[in-house]
Structure 1
């Protein structure tokens, strides 16, 4: 990997981190940059996962006071997330690159549609009296499904979890977002361990992107105050549709 490719991946990481800070959806940028530089799709997906990890950590720290209040109630959801992510990541490694490449455009279309519907999928605020912690078999089952998807592909995972947690868990938006951030870390860490064990990480690509993601996440806070989220969302949707078209064309 030459200096130009490293520079492009650093820039893609920066844009990815900034977009995640503003509106979410940065995975599209990271995965797309790696794919367009010729990284095989399974490796591009795995490398994108490890590159996004700093953003998951920082978003968790931002909600630390809320997370401390939900840790005990999230134990069973975290266990479900670990099992689901493990299954999803192992299934990804079981597939060949050709089989996964055939699925990628459909996954990208689904993730883009999910991202586009994000504003309508956000949980509605609830009154303080309704903020009960209702972890049930239903919420565990739904979280298992979401985490299988997160371990397998991951794009749009945060939006999916906000929607499903809003249906199955009690509490206001901040509590649900804290839960989502905590569980995203669990899903990402389990998947990354599997990907590293499977030897599918492109380490030059990951090392080029991680500093960019970290800086972009910091800069995204500045951008969030100045750039309309609608414009960022339209950009991410356009990237998702472009990548889906690219993989359809390659197939």
Structure 2
């Protein structure tokens, strides 16, 4: 690997760690970079997922204040993410490459739409029905489903989590972002362990992304926690639209 390639991957890892913490979809930075540098798609997916584990963990730690008093809920959600990630990793290793990715743009699009209209939907639901449940079966099912997607193809799982949780639970957006960071870390960790054992991995790439994404995750936590909800929501929508465009044009 040449020096310029190391630099490009490191910069991609830094930006992915930052954008993962603030919004999600950091994989849409690193994955195309690795493919453009000549890595096979499966190797790019697995190496990227393992490399970004450290960044997602530091991002989750950076949001720990928003999770104070919600440890029991987080543990329940984490179990659902854990189980979903196992299923998603199994799909990656058993299904044809394009079997699941054909519906990814639709899923991301629906998630972006949920994020955009969540304040309006929340007000309507509050006026017409009981408050959203913090730990109802539908919440766990949604987290489990996103875990499956994240274990298969990690890109935009954060946008999906924020979109669905914003509709199903009555929490401020910054806390939803904190949940998102922690659950994404769980999914990446579980999928990464499975990939490391049974899938092709480039460990040089993993090392470069792992180190650079740590700094990106720390920086992302500082930036994301200072953004007003409206600005954070706008960033999520913009990145989500960019993710859809990438997936459709890829």
Normalised by the length of structure 2, the TM-score is 0.77
CA–CA distance in structure 1, aligned partners of residues 222 and 62 of structure 2: 15
In the alignment, is residue 148 of structure 1 matched against residue 148 of structure 2?
A: yes
- 1:249 aligned partner: none
Contact 1:31/1:44 (CA < 8 Å) preserved in 2?
yes
Number of aligned residue pairs: 239
- 1:196 aligned partner: 196
Contact 2:50/2:193 (CA < 8 Å) preserved in 1?
no
1:49-198 equivalent positions in 2, closer than 5 A? 49-95=49-95, 99-100=96-97, 104=101, 106=102, 109-110=105-106, 113=109, 117=113, 119-120=115-116, 134-198=134-198
In the alignment, is residue 30 of structure 1 matched against residue 30 of structure 2?
A: yes
Secondary structure of 1:135's counterpart equals: coil
Secondary structure of 1:69's counterpart equals: coil
1:80-105: per-residue Cα shift (whole Å, max 9, x none)? 2111110001110113xxx315754x
CA–CA distance in structure 2, aligned partners of residues 40 and 60 of structure 1: 30
Contact 1:114/1:159 (CA < 8 Å) preserved in 2?
no
Unpaired segments of 5 or more residues in structure 1?
247-251
Contact 1:78/1:183 (CA < 8 Å) preserved in 2?
yes
Q: 1:38 to 1:237 in 2, by over 3 A?
A: farther
Normalised by the length of structure 1, the TM-score is 0.77
Q: 1:67 to 1:186 in 2, by over 3 A?
A: same
Cα RMSD for the two superposed structures:
3.4
Q: 1:190 to 1:217 in 2, by over 3 A?
A: closer
- 2:245 aligned partner: 241
